[in-house]
A and B are shown apart, each in its own frame.
Chain A
Amino acid sequence: MWYDQPFRETRHLTALLRAIRQEAARPIRIMEVCGGQTYALSRYRIEELLPDTVQMIHGPGCPVCVTPAETVDQALAIARLPGTTLCSFGDMIRVPGSGGKSLQHLRTEGYDIRIVYSPLDALDIARENRNRQVVFFAIGFETTTPLYTLLLSQAVAERLGNLSLLTSLFTLPAAIRFLTRDPECHTDALLAAGHVCSITGIDEYRKLARQTRRPIAVTGFEPADLLYGIYRVIQLHTRGEARVVNAYARAVPPQGNEKARRETSRFFTPCDARWRGLGTIPGSGLKLRPAYEQYEARNRFHCTVSLPNGTNPCRAGEIMKGKISPRECPLFGRRCTPDSPMGPSMVSAEGACAAFYRYRTT
């Protein structure tokens, strides 16, 4: 049997749904923090199977969605510099900057912008193009950052002077804490992202559950994983227990990945970070340590951009706080579609708007 099959089998899903229905007597609002979970909930249309008492809120866990417009503007400015090659993951090249242009637009204008599948691909590009400055648009959460440390350690070892990172790195616990303190963001329980916890471990989430007084389930991405996580937080909520359960034990060791964390600490240090749609959250980002600051593209190139004037009517910030559903945004499905996205959450497959649009029923 193929590995993922049991987690999609009808009989398992039906059994989990039955258990949820029995347990969910009290209304509960559950935030899935991760974009991958939002995507899976939409793709498998899990929400419509849940009882009316259970409401899912789509959190801020999509790195494309939370990267601020001014950072996209910086990437655009760097890409326009002569002799520069900008490398990016695929999703990011379609995100419009504050002027409406994206990296994809610049690519059609002839600028050297490359989609890569792994940050390590940028190493080869830098090695093969010593006369060009190669910049990797390094966005992401705790899961992606260890990959950037591999890139950096190799660049340092080889003394590659033509490679740098435009970083936009976030960490989730501070953002979760911030959101749960927001009086407009009503959540009773959280689904934490399994792949993030496979790096961070679950100790920090234990603390988070105590501080926020909410149950948390560390959850995977298959339909059965999500239903099981939902079932466990409902169970804890019913019992009034604000603690963490590891509902994804097959992938998440409680201690996480110590080596990945060690390497992350070697190169990066926490900082305050601006999240698109949410504002500045203290201690929720990572920046390069002073010893490695020369690898930060912002320090290497002149790419000062002015802060966007806030005229974009995209309401992704409110969507990420659970204040409105994507369908309540006046742009959704009209002016804003995956073909012509007005905001990042319509670009990324893991953005709530794109997932809602793509997997809609009518």
Chain B
Amino acid sequence: MAKKRLVLNFPPQLIDQPVTYRLITQYQLEVNILRASITPREWGRLVVEVTGSKENLDSGLKFASNLGVEIKPLAQDVQWYQERCIECTACTAICPTGALQLSREEMRVSFDHDKCIVCGLCLPICPYGAVEIMF
């Protein structure tokens, strides 16, 4: 199994085509949409995590790119520095996916990288520079 985090840019003419649907059905890829911004008649942008066999992944992405979808690896990544975090919990009410998570029993804060969609909402919230976006 291979897993990739990608940014898919859809040219206007492709927006109403079921590209992701075909990636799922034809290539047996698991497509997890992390973020989407789609405006009719403009470029659309999907941030996805795609999982599947290496073979299917390669051919599926080739299929999409042949259609005109621009594919780039997700270059941004969020880093959480445990030693800088004071566990104030401020970010946990903002994080939309629960990547920054609070165990209420202990009031401890943790970060689950796999759940992070790099939305950046936590950055201005943390007073201690414990979360950073890396490019």
Instruction: Determine if chain A interacts with chain B.
Output: no
- Residues on A facing B (Cβ under 8 Å): none
**Interface residues in chain B, defined as those with a beta carbon under 8 Å from any beta carbon in chain A:** none
